Structure 1
Amino acid sequence: MTIQDSINDGTEAARLVPDVLKDRPGQLTPGLCLQGGVAATKIKVVRIQGTAKESTSKTQHCELLEYHEPELNNLETWRTNHKTGLWVQIQGLADLKKIDVALTKLGINNELIPFLTSTPQPSQIKLYGSSVLIVLHQLSVTTQNRTRLESSQIVLLLNEGILVSVEEGSEEAICQSILDLIRKNASQKDFAQLDNIMYYIVDEILDSYPPIFQQLSDYLDELEEHALRSQSPKILSQLSIIRSNLRKCRQQLIALQTDLIPLFHASHDLITPVASRGFRDVEKLVVRLLEFESSARQQISTVNETYMASASHQMNQIMKILAIVSTIFTPLTFIAGVYGMNFAHMPELEHRNGYQLSLLSMAALAISMVLLLWHRGWISMPRLSRR
């Protein structure tokens, strides 16, 4: 199977089709509405090189050199410097030609380039020869609509001495937090390894899932309280959307869980033992996230059962009222039907006070029925006390 076939191999259910960047309305998320919904392309290069320079407090084992929008010809020069590790950050997919040129200068295999620029792709971790490819989705819930799940695809490619990260959006929060982490731990040499940086990015992305599950759980609590007060069909619609969002999260996590196992079991030259232990921790995190997702799905079932029970109770109350009214008026209807018959000899019809007596008997019968139903607990009459 070719690499392009692998891209198209993900099932339609595993793709976040409604959340593709170019399909999102521009007003939803700042930074994602540029150039018709596709974020502008920005390239940033971080050169990581070892140094024996002594600082005032501790030895610095790595030095970070950042270049914003560098000359693309410099990429080829830096790539040939084996003493320097390159972390190439690409944000935005508006200028695919620029991205292709940059990846070519970095010596990336032409068959791998579609993996870095195609959207959307299912989450996956693949080993292609001497390269490690990871496709993830940064998920978020919009503030305007707590049931709308948005995704921004992030692709990581690890080659010898080169780490390429391609982000569908233009936000730099993840990469910037990783850079701050490396600077903070510059004295620890392992922090500067490219495979460790790849692990940090994966861990940072997956750390965004628990808040999403928590937000959905809080919203489900609100829906459950609303279901007890009202039986609006909108509740079922919201539950269906949340269930669909959880299904998307689960599909991404299961794909990662399946692909993570061969990653740290394979003796890959680019994955050091330190990074391998990190990816084992990622697998444990994925297992915990799947447990959170399972708990949220159970909560959806609970809310659905609460809604159905509340709706059933309301329907029973309506049927109870109709039954009470029918029970009271059935004997009255019988009396009216008897005296409404057109027989020639009906003594009561000739009685002087027959009309008044029939009304009084109907009223007495109705009151008797009400008292009987109240005595048996069918009707609540708090002002009356049983003796």
Structure 2
Amino acid sequence: MAKKKRHRSRHKILDRKLGTSPGTLFVSAEAHAPRYFLMSFNEQMFREQELASYAELLQQVQSQPQATHWIDIRGYADLPMLELLKQDFGIHSLQMEDVINDYQRPKVDELDDRLFIITRMLRWSQEQHTLEDVQLSVFSGPNYVLTLQSDYEDCLDPLRDRIRVGKGIIRHRPPMYLVYAILDVVLDYYFPVMGAIGIYIEELEQKILDKPSKQTLREILDLKNELIKLRRIAWPERDKMNELLRMEDDMMPDNLKVYFRDAYDHTIQLIDLIDSHKEMSTSLVELYMSTVSNRMNEIMKVLTIISSIFIPLSFIAGLYGMNFSREDPETGEAFRLSMPELYLPYSYPLLILLMTALVLVQLYMFYRKGWFKSF
């Protein structure tokens, strides 16, 4: 699933028509049909609904100007709706282009009294051991927060539950606090991903110690690529939070900066974890090479012992296997320097006993030197 999503994102980039004017919207054929969700709330009221059309959504928002609205649109496969969305909410064409071409780096743009924020939601695939990331685009307005995403599922359900039951201070705060709450929940989900990666690193380490293989090495290299991808996401997240903290008071009030500063601290912790996991993955490669080298050394030790045992045996067998005559075939005279033991009645069992004794002596010497302790 993760690999398919990653390839689909690449195809979206490749499918874009080259040379088109800036701000031209291009919807992929794989885009989902849009679904419209609306949460309207303030200190006295709360209402949640899924609407059938964009027109109904807009009518509900305009009919309740005193409430804070969380407009959540999931799916992009409706270009006329996107054009209307640009007009009704004052979205710049370049910003909407970044929304549709949803493989953008995390960032924040300020236009008039509105903010445009891109963040990336992460999931860790336990089956494929790959990182799944989905772009979440956030627009803030005077009485609304507009979120757009390509998938129907996301990680924001805990926040929706908090708003439904009225927990916390979200209903009593301005829309910018809802923006913080959305970004904070997205960042919170990064840490379970890092925990799953840490567990996977331990599993790979155990695999290396038990039985290293080329497949294990490929899994380590794939993990390093996923960590590089994660680092490319985390650093812009940190820069985005830092930029939000440095905004003017009219855009980012001081009483909200303390919350964004906490989210900024989370990005610092996240980067530290990524760097730590990246170093551990590098050490896994070194451990793999060391383990394979040790296994090779053990194999060479076994072969050396076997060779050491059979070299003297081969020498004896070769020595007594020489086909020299014991006497002169013409005169019948015996040669004085021939091998007399070849013709002894018990020469064969005596030679076998000699070879066996030689093997036992060698094994004893190898044992005394500690050659068998690593087996």
TM tier relative to shorter chain: 0.7 to 0.9
Which residue does 1:151 correspond to in 2?
133
Is the 2:155–2:186 Cα contact (8 Å) retained in structure 1?
no
2:148 to 166, 178, 199: 166
Q: C-alpha displacement at 1:246, in angstroms?
A: 1.7
Residue 260 of structure 2 corresponds to residue 279 of structure 1: yes
Query: What amino acid maps onto 1:289 in structure 2?
Result: L
Provide the C-alpha distance between the structure 2 equivalents of 1:288 and 1:381, rounded to a whole number of angstroms. Answer: 42
Q: 2:304 aligns with which of 320, 323, 333?
A: 323
Amino acid at match of 2:338: P
- Say which SS state the counterpart of residue 343 (structure 2) adopts: coil
**RMSD (CA atoms):** 3.3
AA at the equivalent of 1:347 = S
Residue 205 of structure 2 is aligned to residue 216 of structure 1: no
Residue 320 and residue 173 in structure 1: after superposition, are their counterparts in 2 closer, same or farther (change >3 A)?
A: closer
Structure 1 window deviating more from structure 2 (192-201 vs 158-167): it is 158-167
Alignment of 1:300-379 (within 5 A): 300-341=281-322, 347-348=338-339, 351-353=342-344, 354-379=347-372
- 1:247 aligns with 228
1:121 alignment partner in structure 2: 104
Q: In structure 2, do the counterparts of structure 1 residues 77 and 208 end up closer, same or farther at CA, with 3 Å as the change threshold?
A: closer
The aligned counterpart of 2:273 is 292
Match of 2:208 in 1: 227
Gaps in structure 1 of 5+ consecutive residues: 1-15, 24-34, 50-60, 383-387
Q: Which has the higher contact order (CA 8 A, sep 6+)?
A: 1
Q: How many pairs does the alignment contain?
A: 343
Q: Say which is worse superposed, 120-129 or 319-328, in terms of deviation.
A: 120-129
Which stretch shows the higher mean deviation, 361-370 or 229-238? 361-370
Deviations 1:56-111 (A, max 9, x none): xxxxx353344532552772794597644443211122323323323322232333
Q: Which residue identity does 2:228 align to in structure 1? A: R
Q: Distance in 2 between matches of 1:99 and 1:18?
A: 25
Please say if residues 62 and 192 of structure 1, whose CA atoms lie closer than 8 Å, have aligned partners that are also in contact. no
Where does residue 43 of structure 1 map in the other structure? Answer: 36
Q: For 2:235, what is the secondary structure of its paired residue?
A: helix
* Paired AA for residue 348 in structure 1: M
The separation in 1 between residues aligned to 2:267 and 2:217, in whole angstroms, is: 29
CA distance in 1, matches of 2:48, 2:123: 28
Letter in 1 for 2:37: K
CA contact (8 A) 1:135 1:154 kept: yes
Identity of aligned residues (%): 23
Q: Is the 8 A contact 1:89 1:164 kept in 2?
A: yes
Q: Output the amino acid matched with 1:369.
A: Q
Which of 83, 88, 96 pairs up with 1:100? 83
Q: For 1:300 and 1:332, how far apart are their aligned partners in 2?
A: 49
Aligned to 1:110: 93
- The answer to whether the 8 Å contact 1:195/1:272 transfers is no
Query: Residue 380 and residue 242 in structure 1: after superposition, are their counterparts in 2 closer, same or farther (change >3 A)?
Result: closer
Residue 71 to residue 230, structure 1, CA distance change in 2 (3 Å) = closer
CA distance in 1, matches of 2:207, 2:85: 54
* Structure 2 match to 1:56: none
TM-score, structure 1 as length reference: 0.77
Native 8 Å contact 1:203 1:282 kept in 2: yes
Say which one has the larger Rg: 2
Query: Does the residue aligned with 2:140 lie in a helix, a strand or coil?
Result: strand
Quick one: structure 1 residues 197 and 310, their matched pair in 2 at CA, closer, same or farther if it must change by over 3 Å?
same
CA distance in structure 2 between the aligned counterparts of 1:325 and 1:365, rounded to whole angstroms:
13
Q: 5+ unaligned residues in a row in structure 2: which ranges? A: 13-27, 326-334
Distance 1:238 1:191 in 2: 48
TM-score by length of 2: 0.79
